């Protein structure tokens, strides 16, 4: 802690990924906390400035992770909040290779810089419940100690496993640093704009025939609260962060006022590709597997250690619905593509019935 700082709260905080929605909101919230003296946002030089209006109280440094070197030590950093993760590949931004470079290599380079920062006392890392994967062999509920039954098929889930492995190594090398890993459930809420919210905003929502997975969501505001507490309080360890309770996929679709379109499981990847074409978001195998198998995590450790319980999954989803009342405007081309999707699903079901008879 820097001289004059509040006990328990760091004086100088670095937040990575402030050019993105989550990072910008976290940095702005920390900058508004009088207990924190200085908030520094780090982003690559090519990062867009669309959230600049949120960052008035944040010092912004544009630098690649590979160039961090002794920068953290020179800044006398007390805490680092690592949020610069890409959850789905973007072909226009380099696809899967660029995603892995950012997530895995970038985290390695950041942790190397953290190791050389002598004043560092706190590290908070964004993780995801995608670390558990999603398969038919999964337990009903994952605790923080549960190992994935299968390696996640999707790139983001595999990246998360690598990132958490590097954090464990950092903990061994720097036991003096309080390291907090937060495994977030998918974000939702009135302000969130994610792959998940775009999925439920489609006029028709593809589902897998015969499957109704259980899902958990986390309200974006509750994610901000947990991240803030992780910085100003000491909570070493790994925590599942999700809204209590579950919604089945069909329940969520009905609440959103959408129409479910059952397709055979192999066709869901095709439906995801169609959604990308329509501009509803970037979907990968992580999202496809979640919509097939679902995922539920136990949050007892979070509630006990933080003294905080996020709003329920149902309440978070209802807030999203209220904010998106009326849904999206569907163009004629999008409607035609949706109709083709419905017809393709019907044909697949009929073909499967014929083959089984």
Single pTM value for the model = 0.85
Per-chain mean pLDDT for the chain: 85
Q: What is the mean pLDDT of residues 228-235?
A: 97
What is 176-242 written as a DSSP string?
TSEEEEEEEPPEESSS--SHHHHHHTSSEEEEETT---EE--EEHHHHHHHHHHHHHS---EEEEE-
173-198 pLDDT per residue, tens: 999 999 999 999 999 988 877 878 88
Q: What is the DSSP letter of 93?
A: G
Looking at the predicted structure, is the pLDDT value of residue 254 above 60?
yes
Beta carbons within 10 angstroms of residue 148's beta carbon: 17
Q: What is the mean pLDDT of residues 105-130?
A: 96
Termini Cα distance of the chain: 71
- What whole-number distance in Å separates Cα of residue 200 and Cα of residue 260? 10
Which is higher by pLDDT, 66 or 82? 82
The pLDDT assigned to 208 comes to 82
Looking at the predicted structure, is the pLDDT value of residue 2 above 90?
no
Beta carbons within 10 angstroms of residue 190's beta carbon: 16
Banded pLDDT at 242 (limits 50, 70, 90): very high
Beta carbons within 10 angstroms of residue 131's beta carbon: 25
Least confident of 28-32, 78-82, 196-200, 334-338: 334-338
The pLDDT assigned to 345 comes to 57
Q: What is the mean pLDDT of residues 80-96?
A: 86
148-166 pLDDT per residue, tens: 888 888 889 999 999 999 9
Looking at the predicted structure, is the pLDDT value of residue 332 above 50?
no
Structure tokens at 287: 């999202």
266-295 pLDDT per residue, tens: 655 555 554 444 444 456 677 778 888 899
Looking at the predicted structure, is the pLDDT value of residue 334 above 80?
no
3-state secondary structure of 308: coil
Q: Which residues pair with 248 in a beta bridge?
A: 214
Q: Taking phi first (over 0 means left), then psi (-120 to 50 degrees means alpha), and beta for anything else, what does residue 210 get? A: left
Percent of the chain topping pLDDT 70: 82
Residue with tokens 């679709």: 253
Q: Which residues pair with 81 in a beta bridge?
A: 15, 124
Looking at the predicted structure, is the pLDDT value of residue 5 above 90?
no
Kind and range of the H or E run holding 16 = strand 12-16
20-61 pLDDT per residue, tens: 999 999 999 999 999 999 999 999 887 776 788 889 899 999
Q: Report which of 46, 105, 113 is spatially closest to residue 77, judged by C-alpha positions.
A: 113
The pLDDT assigned to 94 comes to 79
Rounded alpha-carbon distances, angstroms, from residue 8 to 38, 229, 303, 356: 15, 10, 20, 64
Percent of the chain topping pLDDT 90: 56
The pLDDT assigned to 276 comes to 47
Which is higher by pLDDT, 11 or 268? 11
- What whole-number distance in Å separates Cα of residue 6 and Cα of residue 85? 30
Rounded alpha-carbon distances, angstroms, from residue 211 to 127, 249, 265, 291, 311: 27, 9, 9, 9, 26
Banded pLDDT at 229 (limits 50, 70, 90): very high
Looking at the predicted structure, is the pLDDT value of residue 91 above 80?
no
């Amino acid at each position: 802690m820097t001289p004059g700082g509040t006990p328990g709260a760091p004086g100088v905080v670095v937040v990575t990924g402030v050019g993105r929605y989550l990072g910008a909101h976290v940095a702005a919230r920390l900058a508004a906390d009088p207990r924190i003296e200085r908030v520094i946002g780090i982003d690559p030089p090519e990062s867009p400035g669309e959230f600049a209006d949120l960052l008035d109280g944040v010092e912004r440094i544009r630098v690649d992770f590979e160039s961090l070197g002794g920068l953290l030590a020179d800044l006398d950093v007390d805490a680092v909040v690592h949020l610069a993760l890409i959850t789905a590949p973007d072909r226009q931004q380099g696809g899967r290779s660029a995603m892995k470079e950012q997530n895995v290599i970038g985290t390695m380079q950041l942790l190397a810089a953290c190791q050389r920062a002598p004043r560092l006392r706190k590290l908070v890392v964004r993780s995801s419940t995608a670390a558990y994967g999603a398969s038919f062999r999964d337990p009903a509920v994952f605790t923080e100690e549960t190992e994935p039954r299968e390696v996640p098929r999707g790139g983001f889930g595999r990246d998360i496993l690598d990132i958490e492995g590097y954090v464990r190594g950092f903990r061994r090398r720097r036991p003096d640093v309080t390291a907090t890993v937060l495994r977030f459930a998918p974000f939702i809420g009135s302000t969130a704009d994610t792959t998940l919210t775009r999925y439920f905003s489609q006029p028709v929502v593809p589902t897998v025939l015969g499957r109704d997975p259980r899902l958990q969501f986390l309200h974006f505001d509750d994610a901000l609260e947990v991240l803030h507490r992780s910085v100003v309080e000491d909570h070493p360890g790994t925590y599942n962060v999700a809204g209590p309770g579950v919604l089945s996929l069909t329940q969520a679709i009905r609440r959103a006022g959408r129409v479910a379109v059952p397709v055979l499981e192999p066709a869901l990847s095709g439906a995801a590709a169609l959604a990308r074409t329509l501009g509803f978001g970037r979907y990968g195998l992580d999202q496809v597997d979640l919509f097939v198998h679902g995922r539920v995590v136990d949050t007892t450790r979070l509630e006990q250690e933080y003294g905080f319980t996020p709003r329920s999954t149902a309440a978070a989803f209802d807030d999203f619905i209220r904010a998106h009342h009326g849904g999206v405007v569907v163009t004629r081309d999008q409607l035609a593509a949706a109709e083709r999707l419905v017809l393709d699903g019907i044909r697949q079901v009929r073909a499967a019935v014929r083959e089984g008879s």
